[in-house]
Amino acid sequence: MRHGKKVNHLGRKTAHRKAMLANMACSLIEHKRINTTVAKAKALKQFVEPMITKSKEDTTHNRRIVMANLRQKDAVTELFREVATKIADRPGGYTRIIKLGNRLGDNADMAMIELVDYNEIYNADKAKKKTTRRSRRGGSKPAAAAPVETKASNEEE
């Protein structure tokens, strides 16, 4: 029975798993999106979201905690400078997992994990929906349709 065992071991020993998640988190912070398997993406989401929350408050203590997990100075710097300013008003849910299908070699379920605020496509659609509200009634469409009908009736005679 696996009562109380919530960690997905991903087929690796503890040190290997922690190093892999740290490398993947650094890549995610640097590139804003990465492709990986669904299981690794879910494990990475649990690993990286608490660190993004810590980056909102730039204190020495938080930097040391994040540095102990990420192990790359450039990634920690970018997290506390660029990423933290962009997600400052977001209360959580900093990453998004999008399933991509199966990998050709071994048929593994693939997914793309990305930082939510850095996807311009999704953010642009949501901004447009909030700003423009147009009804389909009224306007110039019936007026434009009327001259076309009269012109067609003149040609028949």
Structural domain boundaries enclosing 21: 1-121
In a domain? residue 21: yes
CATH number at residue 72: 3.90.1030.10
How do residues 17-39 score in pLDDT, each as one tens digit?
999 999 999 999 999 999 999 99
In a domain? residue 153: no
Q: How many domains does the chain have?
A: 1
In a domain? residue 136: no
In a domain? residue 90: yes
Place 154 in a pLDDT band, splitting at 50, 70 and 90: low
Task: Please give the helix or strand (H or E) that residue 22 lies within, else none.
Answer: helix 14-31
In a domain? residue 89: yes
User: In the sheet where 95-102 sits, what is the strand order?
Assistant: 33-37, 109-115, 95-102
Look-up of token digits 């690993």: 47
Token digits of residue 5: 């065992």
pTM of the model: 0.77
Rounded distance between C-alpha atoms, residue 48 and residue 36, angstroms: 15
Rounded distance between C-alpha atoms, residue 39 and residue 8, angstroms: 8
Q: Is 139's pLDDT higher than 70?
A: no
Place 137 in a pLDDT band, splitting at 50, 70 and 90: confident
In a domain? residue 129: no
In a domain? residue 50: yes
- What's the whole-number average pLDDT of the chain? 87
In a domain? residue 154: no
